[in-house]
Amino acid sequence: MTTSEAYDVIIIGGGLAGLCCALHLQKYELKILLIEKQSYPKHKVCGEYVSNEVLPYLGWLNIDPKAHGAVPINQFEISTRHGETIESGLPLGGFGMSRYALDTLLYNEVVPKSEVVIDTVTSVEFQDNIFVVNTQSKKSFQAPYAVGAFGKRSILDKQMDRKFVNERTHWMAVKAHYDYSFPENKVALHNFEGGYCGLSQTETGAVNACYLTTLKSFRACDSLEEFQQKVMSENSRLKDFFENAIPLFEKPLTISQISFAKKSIIEDHIFMLGDSAGLIHPLCGNGMAMAIHSAKLFSELYLKEIRNKNGNRDSLEHAYKKAWKANFAERLRTGSRIQRLLLNNTAASFAYTAVNRFPSILPYIIKKTHGTALV
């Protein structure tokens, strides 16, 4: 096993949270190591609608998604499982961009200044105020601070024996790109028995279709195709989509064991960012913004507490936990309430009637699950 030189911060996971954290800290000449298990570019199961709240911060990090083809989105459409539809403007708006392009855009800005290792982290030890991070290829790296940005579920969650990994989850998700005629400025959320499917355009003109469903609903069918035809296509919007859309992936990407359980913000002194700290229900379309925002929160506090005040781990841990809860706890709770409501037939039908009668409720609900512009 080799032990390399020390870094200021080791970031585990190079999705949006990890990459933005690296970009932020490297601006201050810190020695950063980012370890990501998959090489770039890579597709990822995600709705690929990003809230505009992150644009000012991404600009500060020297990232301009619109210059790389991101599609501006300002309209939202939601349909019940019976195809009844409501449309609304999006208070802040957003953009459509594939994770294939967005993560790579960030990665290309990180590599000139920070070290990026493509490897899987298998364990993390904390002793005498130093982290030792071990990887699958038998390398080990050291730093006084470690950031966990390894997403919804990782072998590290098991290694750390985090409470949520032992709880049963019944969610799975599927995503693929399609050739389909769909308005450029719109994101749609179409409900079906046991789940919902998001549609929006990406920078290539392809339409991303990403759905979340309960295993119970899915198990009634033998294949994704059968599920799409029998269960999802009960909604006329999805019927039209699956009848006319031409798949652009050889086969869709799937993930399972998605957990929306509460997670610890700091685990064995590791600062958790993005989905590693908590996953908001995807229907809110705000998980990516939260991941990016958490990178900003951590980086600013790290610079304030450690760099400027010469290091106090306790005060940084306290400050990060407090900031995380103040910014995200209520959003997660609201997302959870909306998801429960949409998946309950009677409640969803009541909500549809209410929103139809008082359309201003919808932008209000959207605002409750989103933040304000990150400056």
On the 0-12 / 13-18 / 19+ scale of CB atoms within 10 A, 245 is: buried
> Which one of the spans 24-32, 125-133, 282-290, 319-327 is the region binding ligand FAD (CB under 6 A)?
282-290
Output 15 or 144, the one with its CB closest to ligand FAD.
Answer: 15
* DSSP letters spanning 219-288: HTSSSHHHHHHHTGGGSHHHHHHHHHPEE-SSS-EEEE--------SEETTEEE-GGGT----GGGS-HH
d(CA 210, CA 125): 37
Q: Applying CB under 6 A, which of residues 78, 97, 121, 338 lies at the interface with ligand FAD?
A: 121
**93 close to 50: Cβ distance less than 8 angstroms:** no
Site size for ligand FAD, by CB under 6 A?
Answer: 39
Burial of 355 (0-12, 13-18, 19+ CB in 10 A): middle
Give the binding range for ligand FAD (CB under 6 A) out of 42-50, 139-147, 299-307, 327-335.
42-50
* Residue whose CB is less far from ligand FAD, 137 or 344: 137
116 binds ligand FAD (CB under 6 A): no
Does position 306 interact with ligand FAD (CB under 6 A)? The reply is no
Q: Site residues for ligand FAD, window 162-221 (CB under 6 A)?
A: 173, 198, 210, 212
Exactly one of 9, 15, 63, 332 binds ligand FAD (CB under 6 A); that residue is: 15
Among 35, 165, 272, 306, binds ligand FAD (CB under 6 A): 35
Rule CB under 6 A: is residue 75 a binding residue for ligand FAD? no
331 binds ligand FAD (CB under 6 A): no
Q: Would you call the peptide bond into 247 cis, given omega within 30 degrees of 0 as the criterion?
A: no
Q: Contacting ligand FAD (CB under 6 A), which of 9, 30, 149, 306?
A: 149
Q: What is the 3-state secondary structure (H, E, C) of 126-171?
A: EECCEEEEEECCCEEEEECEEEECCCCCCHHHHHCCCHHHHCCCCE
Shorter beta-carbon distance to ligand FAD: residue 262 or 309: 262
Should residue 291 be labelled a site residue for ligand FAD when binding is judged by CB under 6 A? Answer: yes
Query: At closest approach, how far in Å is the CB of 313 from ligand FAD?
Result: 23
Exposure string (b/e) for 173-182, b if CB count within 10 Å is 16 or more? bbbbbbebeb
Residue from 21, 288, 297, 332 binding ligand FAD (CB under 6 A): 288
d(Cα 94, Cα 70) in Å, to the nearest integer?
9
Contacts of 44 by beta carbon, 8 Å cutoff, 6+ apart: 15, 99, 100, 103, 175, 253
37 lies in the site for ligand FAD, by CB under 6 A: yes
Report whether 182 contacts 44 (CB < 8 A): no
CA distance 339 to 209: 19
| 148 counts as binding ligand FAD under rule CB under 6 A | no
User: Which CB sits closer to ligand FAD, 252 or 274?
Assistant: 274
The reply on whether position 106 binds ligand FAD by CB under 6 A is: no
Q: Which CB sits closer to ligand FAD, 212 or 332?
A: 212
Residues that bind ligand FAD (CB under 6 A): 12-18, 35-38, 45-50, 120-121, 149-151, 154-156, 173, 198, 210, 212, 258, 274-275, 282, 285-289, 291
